A and B are shown apart, each in its own frame.
Chain A
Amino acid sequence: MVGSGPAGLACAGDLAKKGYKVTVFEALHTAGGVLVYGIPEFRLPKAIVKKEIEGLKALGVDIQTNVVIGKTISIEELKTEYGFEAVFIGSGAGLPMFMNIPGENYKGVYSANEFLTRINLMKAYKDNGSTPVQHPKKVAVVGGGNVAMDAARCAKRLGAEVYIVYRRGMEELPARREEVEHAEEEGIIFKLLTNPVEIFGDDKGAVRAMKCVEMELGEPDASGRRKPVVKPDSEFELEVDCVIMSLGTSPNPLIKSTTQGLETNPKGCIIADEKGLTTVENVYAGGDAVTGAATVILAMGAGKTAAAAIDEKLSK
C-alpha cells in the first residue's frame, strides 16, 4: 500500500483478512493520511483512527512510516527488489492549489493543507506544542468545500473571527449541508458571491487586508452551476490578518513522475479501470489519487474494490 489514508487502510484490511502479507508505506511520521493531518479532532477524534490502525496491525499489517514512495523507494523497486506481487497506490490528492493573485506569499497566507496539518498532525493548538501556527484575529477562508469548513472551524477555535469567502452563493457551496450548518452554528460569517483579487501586506510582509470583488450569478457553465461574474465597481477591502486558501487539491505528481508507464489524465489523476487496475501490471490505485479530491467514504470503497481485484488476480 502506498499511503496510509482511508483508501490504503481499507485495502490493507481486506487483503490482510484474506491472509495476504501486507505492508503499508506512509510518507509522514504517523499513519492515517488525511484522517490525521486533515480532518480536525472535533470531527474525527484521533483516538479512533489510532484504534483502527492498531486493529490492522493486530491482523498482521506492517506499517512503515517515514517512507516516501517515489523518493525513498520506487514502485518498480517494490515489485522487483522487495518482492511485492501487487501494489496499491492510495496516495491521495495532497497538492494544494493557490489562486495566483498578487500578495499570496505574504506571511499569514496558508493553504488549508498547511493550516490543518499544523493544527491536527503537529498539534500546534496545544500551548506547549513544538510546531507553531499563527493565532490570527480575523481570518478569511477562501473556498466553500468541506475542507474550507474544517479550516474555518479550526481558526475559530484559535480565537479568530472567521469569514468564508466564496465566489458563488449558498446553494452552490460544495460542502456537505451538515458541515455548512455546523460552521454557521459556530458563528462563521459567510461572505458569499465574493472573490479575492489581491492580498495586501504591511511593511513586515504580513497580511493586513484582502481586496475582493462582488460577484453575481450568470448563465450555467460547463459544470452546470451558474457562472459567477464580477459586478462592476464592486471592489472592497476586507481587513484580515490571515488568509487560508482552500481551493481544492490535486494528486501529487511524485509517483507518476517516477513510475514508468503509469498514465494519468490531464488533471494528474492516475488512470485506473473500474477494479482499480492502472496502466502498469499488478499496480492498482484508488481514492483521491484516481478521482481527485473527494471523500473518505469513496476512498475506502475504492480500496475495498481494489482489494477484491488484487485477490482475484493473485489467487489465480
Chain B
Amino acid sequence: MYRIIRKKELNPTVTLMEVSAPLVAKKAQPGQFIILRVDEDGERIPLTIADYNREEGTVTIIFQIVGATTEKLNHLNEGDEICDFVGPLGKATVTEGKKKVAVVGGGVGCAIAYPVAKKFFEQGTEVHSIVGFRNKDLVILEDEFKAASSKFVLMSDDGSCGEKGLVTDALKKLIESGEQYDEVITIGPLIMMKFVCKLTKEYGIKTVVSMNPIMIDGTGMCGGCRLTVGGKTKFACVDGPEFDGHEVDFDEAMARGAMYKDYERHAYEDACNLFKAEVK
C-alpha cells in the first residue's frame, strides 16, 4: 500500500497528491509515468510523474477528475493509502544538448510539462513556457512555471487571465518575432498537441509530444496503448510516452482514446452518485 502524504486541490477539477513510494522515487525521471490502482478490483490508470523527492521517498501526481477512477482517487485524503502504485515506467525526457526550448502546456497537461520545463531550466537551457487554460479558475502551477522559465506566457480561452487565445497563437507570435527554438515540447489535450505540431511543422521546428493513451500493464504486454508514429506501430508505454510530434497519427490516437467512452461515462456517473458529487 502507498500512503498519501500530501493532498492539495489545485483547482476544482485538478488535484495534487504526494505519495510515499520510495522505490519509484529513487528512479523517477521527468517524462516517465506510474500506473496506479485506487483499490482492490480497481482499474489500472497511467499518470505522468509531476515531481519526486528521492530523500523523502515520495512521488507527486497531478490528476484531473475525468472519470470513475479519478473521482474515487480524489476521495482519498492525506494518510489514506493507494492500493497499487508501480513505476517509473516509460522513457525519460531527453533534455541534453538543447540551448533554447519552448514548453507548451494545456490544461492538466501543464502538470506533466512543468517537470520537463524545470529539468531544462536547471541544466541551463533557455525555457519559454506557454501555458493555456479554459479560464482563470483552472490555472495551475503558474508560480512554479514562472520560476522555471526565462519567459512565461499565460493564455486563456475566455481572456479571464493572461492573454485571450490559444497556445498556438502565443507560440506563433514568439516564432514570428524571431525566437529560435531547438525544440518545442508540448503536453496537453490531443487536439492541442495536434495543432501545435501542425504549426511547428510549418516552421521546421522539432517537436516532442507526450502521449497518454489507454493502458493496462505499462510494460509492453498488452499493446492497448499502440499508436502509429511515422507509419509504424509503437507502444506508448515502452517506446514512449514521448514521441516526435510530427510523426504521430493524432486522429487515430483520438479515435482509440474514445474506445470506451460510453462505458466510462456510465462508470463516472455511477461513481459520482456514490459520492454524491456533481458530474462535471
A residues contacting B by CB (< 8 A) are 27-29, 37, 65-68, 71-73, 94-96, 98, 100, 104-108, 110-111, 113-114, 117-118, 121-123, 129-132, 134, 204-206, 252-254
Contact = CB atoms under 8 A, between A and B. Distances in A.
B216 A67 contact: no
Given A72-B88, A96-B222, A132-B264, A118 B216 contact: yes
Contact of B86 (A68, A98, A206, A253): A68
A117 B217 contact: yes
Nearest to B69: A130
A117 B84 contact: no
Interface string B249-280: 00110011011100110010000000000000
B68 interface: yes
Given A72-B27, A113-B222, A252-B219, A204 B233 contact: no
Contacts of B147: none
Interface stretch (B36-44, B157-165, B183-191, B195-203): B36-44
B141 interface: no
B217 A28 contact: yes
Interface in B1-59: 23-24, 27, 37, 41-44
A98 B37 CA distance: 28
B133 interface: no
A29 B41 contact: no
Contacts of A104: 233
A15 B269 CA distance: 50
B41 A117 contact: no
Contact of A96 (B24, B223, B252, B264): B223
8 contacts: A66-B84, A71-B219, A94-B219, A98-B226, A117-B222, A121-B216, A130-B42, A130-B267
Which 8 residue pairs of A and B lie closest in terms of their CB atoms, listed nearest first? A205-B255, A114-B222, A66-B86, A111-B223, A94-B221, A29-B84, A132-B263, A131-B43
Interface string B201-226: 00000000000000011011111101
Contacts of A105: 226-228, 233, 252, 256
A121 B218 CA distance: 14
A65 B36 CA distance: 12
Given A68-B219, A204-B258, A254-B219, 13 more contacts: A29-B37, A29-B83, A67-B23, A98-B226, A104-B233, A105-B233, A107-B258, A122-B43, A123-B41, A130-B41, A205-B256, A252-B219, A252-B221
B187 to A, nearest CB: 21
Nearest to B216: A117
B107 interface: no
B223 A113 contact: yes
**B42, B216, B233, B263 — which one has the most chain A CB atoms within 10 A of its CB?**
B216
B268 to A, nearest CB: 11
B143 to A, nearest CB: 32
B87 interface: yes
Interface core residue of A66, A107, A204 (most chain B CB under 10 Å):
A66
A98 B226 CA distance: 11
Contacts of A122: 43-44, 216
B114 interface: no
A259 to B, nearest CB: 15
B85 A66 contact: yes
Contacts of B87: 68, 71-72
